[in-house]
A and B are shown apart, each in its own frame.
Chain A
Amino acid sequence: MSVIDESGREFKVDLTNCDREPIHIPGHVQGHGALLAVHPDYFTILQASQNVATYFGTPAETLLGKELSILLDPTQMGALRDARQSQPLAQNPVYVFQGEIGGQGPFDVSAHTYQGILIIEAEAVDQIDPAAPDFQALVTESLVRLQSTKTLEDFCQAAAVEFRKISGFDRVMIYRFLQDASGTVVAEDLAPGIESFLGLHYPASDIPKQARALFVQNASRIIPDPSYEPSPIVPTLNPLTDRPLDMSYASLRGVSPMHTQYLRNMGVCASMSQAIVVDGQLWGLIASHHYENRRVPYGLRRGCEFLAKLVALMVRGKVDEEQSSYRQQIEETHDALVESMSRHRSIVEGLTGGERRIEHFVDCTGCAILADGECHLIGQTPTPTQVRVLAEWLRRERGDELYVTDSLSREYPEGERMKDVASGVLSIRLTKVPGEFVLWFRPEVVKTVNWAGNPTKPVEPTPSGDRLNPRKSFELWQEEVRDRSNPWKRLEIESARRLRIAITEMVIRRAEEVSRANVRLERSNVELDSFAYIASHDLKEPLRGIHNYSTFLLEDYGEALDETGRERLRTLVRLAERMETLTDSLLHFSRLGRQELDLQKHDLNDVLQEAIEATSARLEETGTEVRIPWPLPTVTCDGVQLVEVFQNLIANAAKYNDKPHKWIEVGVRSEGALPGEQPHVLYVRDNGIGIPRKHFESIFRIFKRLHGRTEFGGGTGAGLTITEKVVQRHGGRLWLESEPGQGTTFFFTLGA
Chain B
Amino acid sequence: MTDKLDRPIVVVEDSDEDFEALSRAFNRLDVRVPVQRFTDADDCLEYLRGEAHAGNIASRPALILLDLNLPGTDGKEALQEIKSDGDLRAIPVTVVTSSTNKADVETCYRYGANGYMTKGGSFQSFQQAVGTMLDFWFKTVVLP
For residues 544 through 566 of chain A, which have their beta carbon under 8 Å from a beta carbon of chain B? 544-545, 547-549, 551-552
Contacts of B119 in A (CB 8 A): 544
Docked CA distance A552–B17 (Å): 11
Q: Select which of A537, A544, A549 is within 8 A of B99 by beta carbon.
A: A537
Q: A544-B120, A580-B120 are in contact. List 15 more A-B contacts (CB 8 A).
A: A537-B98, A537-B99, A540-B98, A540-B120, A541-B15, A541-B18, A544-B18, A544-B21, A547-B122, A548-B17, A548-B123, A549-B17, A551-B123, A552-B24, A591-B101
B101-A548 in contact (CB<8A): no
A33–B58 CA distance with the chains assembled, in angstroms: 138
Instruction: With both chains docked as a complex, state the minimum distance between the C-beta of A572 and any C-beta of chain B, in angstroms.
Output: 13
Chain B window 1-36, contacts with chain A (Cβ cutoff 8 Å), 1 for yes, 0 for no: 000000000000001011011001000000000000
Q: Given A552-B123, A580-B120, A584-B120, do A544 and B17 touch, yes or no (CB 8 Å)?
A: yes
Q: Does A577 contact B (CB under 8 A)?
A: yes
Which residues, 86 to 144 on B, are CB-close (under 8 Å) to A? 98-101, 103, 119-124
The residues of B that contact A552 with a CB separation of less than 8 Å are 21, 24, 123
Minimum CB distance partner of B101 in chain A: A591
**B100 and A584 within 8 A (CB):** yes
Q: Interface of B with A (CB < 8 Å)?
A: 15, 17-18, 20-21, 24, 69, 98-101, 103, 119-124
> Given the complex of chains A and B, what is the CA–CA distance between A552 and B23 in angstroms?
12
Q: List 9 A-B contacts (CB under 8 A).
A: A537-B98, A540-B120, A541-B15, A541-B18, A544-B21, A545-B15, A545-B18, A548-B20, A580-B121
Question: Which residue on B lies nearest to A573, using beta carbons?
Answer: B122
A545–B18 alpha-carbon span in the complex (Å): 7
Top-5 shortest CB links A-B: A545-B17, A551-B123, A548-B21, A540-B98, A548-B123
Given contacts A544-B17, A545-B17, contact A551 B122 (CB under 8 A): yes
**Chain A residues, Cβ within 8 Å of B101:** 591
A547 B100 Cβ-Cβ under 8 A = no
Within 8 A of B (CB), among A562-583: 573, 577, 580
Asked whether A544 lies within 8 Å of B122 as measured between CB atoms, the reply is: no
Complex Cα spacing A577 to B126, Å: 13
Report the minimal beta-carbon distance from A401 to chain B, rounded to whole angstroms: 52
| B138 CB, nearest partner CB in chain A, Å | 24
**Chain A nearest CB: distance from B96 CB in Å?**
12
Interchain CA distance A587-B21 in the complex, whole Å: 23
Closest to B25 in A: A548
A residues bordering B, Cβ < 8 Å? 537, 540-541, 544-545, 547-549, 551-552, 573, 577, 580, 584, 587, 591, 595
| Shortest Cβ distance from residue B23 to the other chain A in the assembled complex, whole angstroms | 11
Complex-state Cα separation, A591 to B101, whole angstroms:
9
Nearest neighbor of A552 in chain B, beta-carbon distance: B24
| Nearest A residue (CB) for B126 | A548
The distance from the CB of B94 to the nearest CB of chain A, in whole angstroms, is 18
Give which listed residue, B24, B98, B103, B122, contacts A541 with CB less than 8 A.
B98
Cα distance, A15 to B103, chains bound together (Å):
91
A424 to B17, CA, bound (A): 84
Asked whether B99 lies within 8 Å of A547 as measured between CB atoms, the reply is no
Set of chain B residues within 8 Å of A580, measured between Cβ atoms: 120-121
Bound together, the chains give a CA A573 to CA B18 distance in angstroms of 16
The residue in chain A whose Cβ has the minimal distance to the Cβ of B119 is A544
Bound: A552/B123 CA distance, A: 9
Residues on B with beta carbons closer than 8 Å to the beta carbon of A548: 17, 20-21, 123
Closest to A544 in B: B119
Shortest beta-carbon distance from B104 to chain A in Å: 11
Identify the interface centre among A548, A552, A577: most chain B CB within 10 Å of its CB: A548
Contact status A544-B98, CB under 8 Å: yes
Please give the distance in Å from B13's CB to the nearest CB on chain A: 11
* Complex CA–CA separation, A547 to B21 (angstroms): 10
Complex Cα spacing A686 to B76, Å: 45
Closest residue on chain A to residue B123 by CB atoms: A551
Q: What CA separation (Å) do A486 and B100 show in the bound complex?
A: 76
Q: Which of A537, A541, A547, A587 contacts B123 (CB 8 A)?
A: A547
The interface residues of chain B lying within 8 Å CB-to-CB of A537 are 69, 98-99
Q: Which residues of A contact B120 (CB under 8 A)?
A: 540, 544, 580, 584
Complex Cα distance, B24 from A552, in Å, reads: 9
CA A693 – CA B124 in complex, angstroms? 43
Q: When chains A and B are docked, how far (Å) is the Cα of A573 from the Cα of B121? A: 11
Cβ–Cβ < 8 Å partners of B98 in chain A: 537, 540-541, 544
* Chain A min CB distance to B103 (Å): 8
Give CA–CA (A541, B15) in the complex, Å: 8
CA distance A90 to B24 in the complex (A): 118
With A and B bound together, what is the CA distance between A573 and B119 in angstroms? 16
Inter-chain contact B18/A577, CB cutoff 8 Å: no
Bound together, the chains give a CA A52 to CA B131 distance in angstroms of: 139
Q: Residues of B contacting A587 with CB < 8 Å?
A: 100
A591 surroundings in chain B (CB, below 8 A): 101
With the chains together, A573 CA to B122 CA distance in Å? 9
CB distance from A647 to the nearest CB of B (A): 15
In whole Å, how far is B83's beta carbon from the nearest beta carbon of chain A?
A: 24
Question: What residues of chain A lie closer than 8 Å to B99, measured between beta carbons?
Answer: 537
Asked if B122 and A577 sit within 8 Å, CB to CB, the answer is yes
> With A and B bound together, what is the CA distance between A177 and B120 in angstroms?
94
* A-chain residues with CB within 8 Å of residue B21 when the two chains form the complex: 544, 548, 552
Distance (whole angstroms) from the CB of A597 to the closest CB of chain B: 14
CB contacts (< 8 Å) of B20 on chain A: these are 548
Measured in the bound complex, the distance between the Cα atoms of B103 and A637 in whole Å is 19
| Residue of chain A at shortest CB distance from B17 | A545
Name the distance in Å between B105's Cβ and chain A's nearest Cβ. 13
Rounded to whole angstroms, the CA-CA distance of A544 and B96 in the bound complex is 14
In the complex, which residues of chain B have a beta carbon less than 8 angstroms from the beta carbon of A584?
A: 100, 120
